[in-house]
Amino acid sequence: MKRESTIFKFDDSVNELLEISFAFQKSRVLITAVELGIFDILGEEFKTSEQIASEAKVHQKSVERLLNVLVSMKLLVKRDGKFCNTDLAWNCLVKGNQHYIGSMNNFSEMWKKWSSLTETIRTGEPVNFVERKDRSPKQTEDFISSMHWNGSQRAQEVVKLIDIKKSVRVLDLGGASGAYAMEFVRNYPQLDVTVYDLPEIIDITRRYLEVKGFEGKINTLTGDVLTDKLPKNHYDLIFVSNVLHIYSFWENMDLVKNIYDSLRIGGRVVIHEMLLDDNRTSPEFTSMFSLHMLVNTKSGEVLTESEIWLMLKEAWFTKIERKDTDFGTSLMFGSK
């Protein structure tokens, strides 16, 4: 008689469930390796666990276990008892390299916030939320580094989707490092582009502009879009990337009206965001990001196309349309 298979031994769905359950371990290994500077310490060299432990100022036997796991994850290679970065780790995880993922430094903060998800769901309040004024300079720097890497990967395609011909004055609202502003100027040197953000962020913006060779080519303006009015009837185009999800629906209603008042007649707003479907369950990454806003902000949430359409309509915008990128984000356009 043929023996019946058991669900625990043969059912792929159970294996998938277990993979989800243990996925946090890989994340934690990578975050710890970044926190300890393992990839930077190795650079292009092969080093023993003793050498790495000495440079990282950690326990040698413990770090050796970590290094072995990084080998199994194909982030390091091991040869004759020595460790070295793989090409992937060298290109993406070593500071200063062209494809360095700056957001890795921000993942430690993300880990702390997500660790309180259960209590956040119970109370409806972000347990580990830190007010802007209480954030350390390093936390702010790491966050902007994350935003710069993200923006740098996407700016070229996003700017290509925007018809810029009739614009002269452009405002990059909440522009952080100025990654998108730089791309505007790179493609259209005749534009008068301004990055608008909070005072403590604009200080960092100016450093990015200087390092990237855009000092004097891009203006900066400080303020808080929730409390300060933008210049009236001033801009031809206001670009808003990954800002709306930080705030509540009603805060965004006021923000969009502020944008409308700041545009000249015929001017346009371009809102760049990840959008949920009307059922709020997909795409999966975007749905997960909505939870990310729950643990990271007081009132932020990911919006749907219908919600942004309503905001634009309520602010008297016309010619509302949507364009999708190839990397899961969308542009919502509105004209004054």
Cis check for the bond before 137: say yes or no (omega within 30 of 0): no
What is the rounded CA–CA span in Å between residue 239 and residue 295? 26
Q: Establish if 121 belongs to a structural domain.
A: no
User: What integer pLDDT is reported at residue 136 of this predicted model?
Assistant: 86
Angle (nearest 5°) at CA 244 between 204 and 269: 90
Q: Establish if 122 belongs to a structural domain.
A: no
Domain of residue 13, residue span: 7-100
Give the CATH number of the domain where residue 317 resides. 3.40.50.150
Contact 335, 163 (CB under 8 A): no
What is the rounded CA–CA span in Å between residue 187 and residue 135? 35
Cross-strand pairs, 333: 270, 321
**What are the angstrom distances between the C-alpha of 11 and each of 23, 45, 316, 320?**
19, 43, 54, 48
The arithmetic mean of pLDDT across residues 134-147, rounded, is 86
Model pLDDT for residues 67-90, shown as the tens digit of each residue: 999 999 999 999 999 999 999 999
Q: Establish if 108 belongs to a structural domain.
A: no
Average pLDDT in the chain:
93
**What are the angstrom distances between the C-alpha of 196 and each of 35, 172, 178?**
31, 6, 9
Domain limit, last residue, from 70, 100, 130: 100
- The residues, any chain, with a CB within 8 Å of residue 306's CB and separated by 6 or more, are 278
- The residues, any chain, with a CB within 8 Å of residue 304's CB and separated by 6 or more, are 275, 276, 277, 278, 280
Q: Establish if 255 belongs to a structural domain.
A: yes
The arithmetic mean of pLDDT across residues 255-265, rounded, is 98
Tokens encoding 318? 């016309």
Question: Is the pLDDT reported for residue 2 higher than 70?
Answer: no
Q: Establish if 312 belongs to a structural domain.
A: yes
H/E segment holding residue 336: none
Domain limit, last residue, from 81, 100, 119: 100
User: What integer pLDDT is reported at residue 257 of this predicted model?
Assistant: 97
Model pLDDT for residues 200-244, shown as the tens digit of each residue: 999 999 999 999 999 999 999 999 989 999 999 999 999 999 999
What is the rounded CA–CA span in Å between residue 112 and residue 122? 17
Same domain, 96 and 150: no
Same domain, 190 and 63: no
Model pLDDT for residues 163-199, shown as the tens digit of each residue: 998 889 999 999 999 999 999 999 999 999 999 999 9
Same domain, 160 and 240: yes
What is the rounded CA–CA span in Å between residue 143 and residue 176? 9
What is the rounded CA–CA span in Å between residue 278 and residue 280? 5
Same domain, 153 and 91: no
Q: Tokens 């992937």 identify what position?
A: 88
Domain limit, last residue, from 39, 74, 100: 100
What is the rounded CA–CA span in Å between residue 9 and residue 283? 31
Question: Is the pLDDT reported for residue 132 higher than 90?
Answer: no
Same domain, 95 and 149: no
Sheet holding 263-273, edge to edge: 219-222, 192-197, 169-173, 235-241, 263-273, 330-335, 318-324
In 3D, which of 142, 55, 156, 154 has the Cα closest to residue 95?
142
pLDDT over 90, % of the chain:
80
Model pLDDT for residues 3-57, shown as the tens digit of each residue: 555 555 657 788 888 889 999 999 999 999 999 999 999 999 999 999 999 999 9
Q: Establish if 74 belongs to a structural domain.
A: yes
Say what angle helices 107-114 and 137-160 make with each other, to 10 degrees: 100
Q: Establish if 90 belongs to a structural domain.
A: yes
H/E segment holding residue 144: helix 137-160
Same domain, 218 and 74: no
Contact 202, 223 (CB under 8 A): no
**What are the angstrom distances between the C-alpha of 123 and each of 116, 119, 120, 133?**
11, 6, 5, 24
Lowest mean pLDDT among 91-100, 150-159, 217-226, 285-294: 91-100
Domain count, the chain: 2
What is the rounded CA–CA span in Å between residue 221 and residue 195? 6
Strand-strand pairing, 318-324 and 330-335: antiparallel
